[in-house]
A and B are shown apart, each in its own frame.
Chain A
Amino acid sequence: MYYKELVRQMYDIGLGSLPIIFLISIFLGAVTVTQFYYQMDGQLIPTSFIGYIVRDMMIIELAPTFSCLLLAGKVGSNMAAEIGGMRQKEHIDAMEIMGVNTSAFLVMPKVLAAILMIPLLVVVSAFVGIAGGYIASVPIGLFTHDDYVTGLRLFFNPHNVFIMFVKAATFAAILTSVSCYQGYFVKGGSIELGEASTRAVVYSVILILVADYIIALILT
């Protein structure tokens, strides 16, 4: 029962979020390249450094943080609404009567699925963002293929990938647990459910940004 729910959640969070993660990541990479090219124009910094900057920006910050902020909106609000709706339709009461530990059954598979799937989505986001940077620059002649690839190979530090995974897993735990909490303890009707869903997103976003800063302080 719990395994089936875990698989369903992994599918929903992972595959369900893939298209939107793909889309935003392309533009994140594209905008980063374009703006850095603009900022560095006329300075004595080789253009190959843009590839290096995009790579590390995507890995350390943009892929984990932006993806999770987006997922707080998509996945978090969905979880709060789903659990809150179950509370209002007495599904949670029915489960309690049928001997289900509802907090474990409804919350744990979601948190676990997010912790497993969101880091994978973040990896995809990082790769797609870097590819997006390439697509936005090389074909239109901002700089050459060799410049970009050279930059990508510069000063690679595997510790940055570790930071990315720590951030992704932490943000996943935050956005799911906050959202599930808001849904689980919802009271009242549809207006309160809407408010709970909004709170889930707002609190998740704030906590993700605070955690982002704390992780940056500790790990860099």
Chain B
Amino acid sequence: MIRAENIFKSFGENEVLKGIDFVFEESKTNLIIGRSGAGKTVLLKILVGLYPPTQGKVWYKDKELYSLTKKQLRHLRMEVGMLFQGNALFDSMTIEENIRFPMDMFTEMTYKEKNMRVDEVLERVSMSGINNRFPSEISGGMQKRVGIARSIVLNPKYLFCDEPNSGLDPKTSITIDELISTITDDNKMTTIINTHDMNSVMEIGEKICLLHEGKLAWQGNNEEVLKSENQELHNFIFASPFLQKLVDRVGAKNI
């Protein structure tokens, strides 16, 4: 369980987050949704320890993230995997070296053991056999899969994904969502995904928090989304004119 407690974050005069309180549930796929500029990425980076909040606390069970000692933080880092929006694969390294990187930093495994683990996770994301290729030599969808492989290589307890579907076609997006959801279930991870993809919301959102202008506007799960009367949620979901027309014609409950 990860708990955000009264999180405020400002960049200069610009207050991005305004008192977020939310519990991300254990072994579930938690979603942070909202329009661009709502503060999703900032919240995710605060949760993962990259941006200290201006005010507030982040709890990993009973440990407060920003009060940990260096040693404790390093230990916690071993339990965290993150998929970045742009994948953040290191251009100068092969796929194998990219995936091996967290093991080089955190483990005493032998070279052979590390390579075996690389093969395992590549197989897990259906990307076997691309070990010696460079990130620039594979497609965006493949890079996402490799990014996922790197983020799960240490069997983390917590997986953070920043807009995993950005820049992908709808079919690949669905595949990536399914992959993250399956990995979450199989490894019993607490996954936090930052997205504005409605398909992700409806398919994998076991717990959802909607951010609007830096505030928590709604929380619930994917079954409650269409039943909610919340205006901000309604505006977010039916931002597409096509969906709005569909709703006008058949009614939200029939979709």
* A interface residues with partner B (beta carbon < 8 Å): 1, 89-91, 93-94, 96-100
Contact = CB atoms under 8 A, between A and B. Distances in A.
Interface stretch (B26-34, B55-63, B82-90, B226-234): B82-90
Contacts of A99: 74, 77-78, 102, 105-106
5 pairs of A and B residues whose beta carbons are closest in the complex: A94-B88, A90-B88, A99-B77, A90-B84, A98-B102
A90 B85 contact: yes
A93 B50 contact: yes
B167 to A, nearest CB: 14
B86 A90 contact: yes
B45 interface: yes
A94 B80 CA distance: 11
Interface residues of B, number: 20
B178 interface: no
A93 B102 contact: no
Nearest to B77: A99
B105 A97 contact: no
A97 B77 contact: yes
A100 B105 contact: yes
Interface of B: 45, 48-50, 74, 77-78, 80-82, 84-86, 88, 90, 101-102, 104-106
B60 to A, nearest CB: 14
The CB with the most chain A CB atoms within 10 A, among B48, B101, B106, is that of: B101
A103 to B, nearest CB: 14
B82 A94 contact: yes
B101 to A, nearest CB: 6
Given A97-B82, A99-B77, A91 B90 contact: yes
Given A99-B77, A99-B78, A93 B45 contact: yes
Contact of A94 (B74, B78, B84): B84
Contact of A91 (B78, B85, B88): B88
Contact of A98 (B45, B50, B77, B85): B77
29 contacts: A1-B104, A1-B105, A89-B86, A89-B88, A90-B85, A90-B86, A90-B88, A91-B88, A91-B90, A93-B45, A93-B84, A94-B88, A94-B90, A96-B50, A97-B49, A97-B50, A97-B80, A97-B81, A97-B82, A98-B101, A98-B102, A98-B105, A98-B106, A99-B74, A99-B77, A99-B78, A99-B102, A99-B106, A100-B105
Contacts of B48: 97
A35 B80 CA distance: 65
Nearest to A187: B11
Nearest to A94: B88
Nearest to B73: A99
A90 B88 CA distance: 6
A72 B49 CA distance: 34
Given A93-B50, A98-B105, 14 more contacts: A1-B104, A89-B86, A89-B88, A90-B86, A93-B88, A94-B82, A97-B48, A97-B49, A97-B50, A97-B80, A98-B77, A99-B74, A99-B77, A99-B106
A21 to B, nearest CB: 25
Nearest to A97: B82
A126 B131 CA distance: 46
A93 B104 CA distance: 17
A64 B50 CA distance: 40
Nearest to B48: A97
B104 to A, nearest CB: 6
Contacts of A100: 105
A94 B48 CA distance: 11
Contacts of B104: 1
Nearest to B45: A93
A93 B47 CA distance: 13
A186 to B, nearest CB: 15
Contacts of A89: 86, 88
A85 B81 CA distance: 22
